[in-house]
Each structure stands twice: as structure tokens, then as C-alpha cells.
Amino acid sequence: MEDLANKDEYLVGKKIVVALSGGIDSVVLLHFLNKHYPGNVRAVHINHNLSKYSQEWHAFCAALCKADKIEYKDIDINIKSSSNIEENARKKRYISLTSELRVGETLCTAHHQEDQAETFLLQLFRGSGVAGLASMPKIKKIDGSDLYRPLLNISKQKIIDYALKNHLKWVEDDSNLDTNFKRNLLRIEFLPKLSSSFNGLIKNISRSASHQAEALKLLQDLAELDIVNFELLINNKIQVSPLIQLPKRRVANVLRYFISNLGFLLPSNKVLDELISSLNAKTDANLILRWHHYEVRRYNGELYFFDESVESSNLPCPYYESLKNIPNFEIRFRQEGQRVKLKGKNHSQSLKKVLQESNIPPWERDKLKMYYVDGSLRAMETLGEITEV
């Protein structure tokens, strides 16, 4: 869809959720989608509780949807004071929106051509690479659902014209005038001056973002080919030996691709260079690198990636389930010097050696639960049935 007159074929037959702020962009998007897909649209309003007008905006959105018979929901979020309120608000907003989605629904946001140009410039000024300069894709997967931006190639002026033509009402966010926010500074002070000197500036910047998106897709295609052709992934862990046979630029490309697919924030070039350099260290080197709240470790020639802000959720243990209701059942953890005998084995081994042979990383060994009944070891998480010697 390149205008606001024709139906968007991508959305035909889909259940649509509009992220409704109450501003002109989202109001136009809601009106347009409800006009073309009546009965298939509902709206969700995220109340950030950052403005004294927050409740008024909620009331406006609720009344707008009630008048047009559109299902509506309001979600309250609270943003802790920080040096980057914009980014924290964005993250919490998307978490709230995606967690609200029902199976098969598509989330639509009202980002337009000017938003894309601003994003491109913000990424450029940060020194971002291809992934950052690709800016916002028109469609992407987010937590298993589709995020779609129908207005991404539509100019702000066309959105204003549509609102006036259809006599729409909207609210103005007072924070949009605060030039302490870098995006507002670009929109209010810099882009108007640049546009007066460069014809078609916004459209051209958006086109550059599209070119970067194509280049990013090529890099992702190359990473996928390298992963398959060189067998770089086994059990979702990167294999160090074949990886370091590639040229450094392709090693970096594979790592960026893999980390991005994990949903992690990409490390800086400095951290990535340090990681690549350390891959050639001795195989028993205790590699641990951290950035933000993420971490990568190496063990037995494999790379393990962690998000320290997310608690690991282990799958239910069948041995725990089979033993937990037996009288005198208890859970313990390993101690130094323990010897055990695995089911089907004729001899005992030190528990330390058993864990090593089972390729269990050192940082996980002390967390494995050992299941005792009447003081006797019966099984161990991950290892299975086992007895203490």
C-alpha cells in the first residue's frame, strides 16, 4: 500500500490489532483499517503514565473506539526514571503489546515515512552498521507474531490530509515538543532545515533505509549458508573449530546473525572483536565475555549465550515427577568427592568425571538437583537414575 485510498492486500483475511496512542498517526491508521476491514480490527492503548494527560488520552481512545464499535483495551505500564526514557518506554510498550496478542493476530503500528527517516539518521549518528541503518522493516516477527507497519511508505502530509478529509479528531502529546529527546530534536529543528535545501529528503532517506535492508538480508542469507555448509550449529550452540576457519568478516557476520536471532542487543565492535580474537585461544581457556546484561561462554569447543536478566526455565524433570510423592523424598546438590554408579553400569565413577563425560558445562553442574529417598540417591537431574557409592 503506497497511499491511503486502496485496501492493503497483506491484511486481507487477518485479525488486526492497532497500537492506538490517540495521536493523528494511529487515529488515521485505525480509521483506515476499520473502513477496509470492519469487524476484524481491535485497538490496544498503552498508558505510559509519563504525562499528566495520560488519563485524558485513555478516555479519548476509549470513546473513539466505542463510537466506531471497535473492541478496545487499555494497558497501564510504569517506566522507571532513567537516562533513556524513550528506549525503556519503547521496550515496555512492545512487550505489553505482543503479550496482549491472541493467536493469529497481526499487530499494526502507525510508523510512517518521516519516522523511518528519523530512525535512519539516529542510527547513522550512533555509528550503526547495516542492521541499524536498515531501520524499521515493514513487517517482522516479534515473539512469534507479525508486526506490520502499513503506513511506513506514506508521508506525514498524506496522513494529515486524510485526517482532515475524514474530519478525524486526535490528541497531541505534549512530549513531542520536548527537544531533549533526540528524535524530537531531529523532527523539529534539523529535518525542516535540511528539507529546505535537499528536494525529496525524507523520501530519499527512506529509500536509503530500504537499500540497507536489502543489504542486511544478503548478509543474513550468507550467515545462513555458512551455518549450514560448515555445520556451525549443533543443538543451537556455535561450534568454534569450523567457525574460525572462515574469514574474520564472515565470523563476525555469523555471530551478529546468531545473537540477533536470540533477540539480544548486539555487542559493540570492541566486544565482538574481543570475542573473535579469543576464539583462537587454547581450547580449555575459560572464556567469559559480557555486554549489557548478556554473556557468552565457551566450553568444549562450543559457545553458550545467556541473557542474565531472564531466569532460566528448566523443562520438567521426569525423575522428579516420579519420585516427588514418595515419603522421605528430598532434593540435594552435589558435594566434593562424591562417587556414583549410573544405571546399567558395572562400576562406579567420581561424579565430577560423570558430569564432564556428559558434556555438562561447569557453571551448570552445581545447580543440578539430586533426588534422595530415605537418604539414598535415586536419580539426578539430566543424568537420570543413579546411585551413590
pLDDT, tens only, 145-188: 899 999 999 999 999 999 999 999 999 998 888 998 899 999 99
Average confidence (pLDDT) over 95-119: 94
Q: How many helices (H) and strands (E) does the chain have?
A: 15, 17
| Residue of 227 and 293 predicted with greater confidence | 227
The Cα–Cα gap between 152 and 201 comes to 15
What is the tens place of the pLDDT at every residue in 345-383? 889 999 999 999 998 999 989 999 999 999 999 999 999
Residue 380 pairs in a beta bridge with 370, 384
Taking the model in full, what pTM does it have?
Answer: 0.81
- If pLDDT is split at 50, 70 and 90, which confidence band does 111 have? very high
Query: For position 271, what pLDDT does the model report?
Result: 95
Relative to beta strand 233-234, strand 349-350 is unpaired
**How high is the mean pLDDT of the chain?**
92
Residue 386: pLDDT band (50, 70, 90) is very high
Mean local confidence (pLDDT), 114-130? 95
- Position 119 scores a pLDDT of 97
Q: Residue 82's pLDDT band (boundaries 50, 70, 90)?
A: low
CA atoms of 353 and 134, how far apart (whole Å):
49
Dihedral (Cα; 117, 118, 119, 121), 10-degree rounding: 90
Q: How many CB atoms lie within 10 A of CB 212?
A: 20
| Nearest by Cα to 48 from 108, 109, 92 | 92
- Return the number of other C-beta atoms located less than 10 Å from residue 34's C-beta: 20
User: Residue 28: its pLDDT value, please?
Assistant: 98
Confidence of residue 195 (pLDDT cuts 50, 70, 90): very high
Over residues 296-341, the pLDDT tens digits come to 999 989 999 999 877 665 678 999 999 999 999 999 999 999 999 9
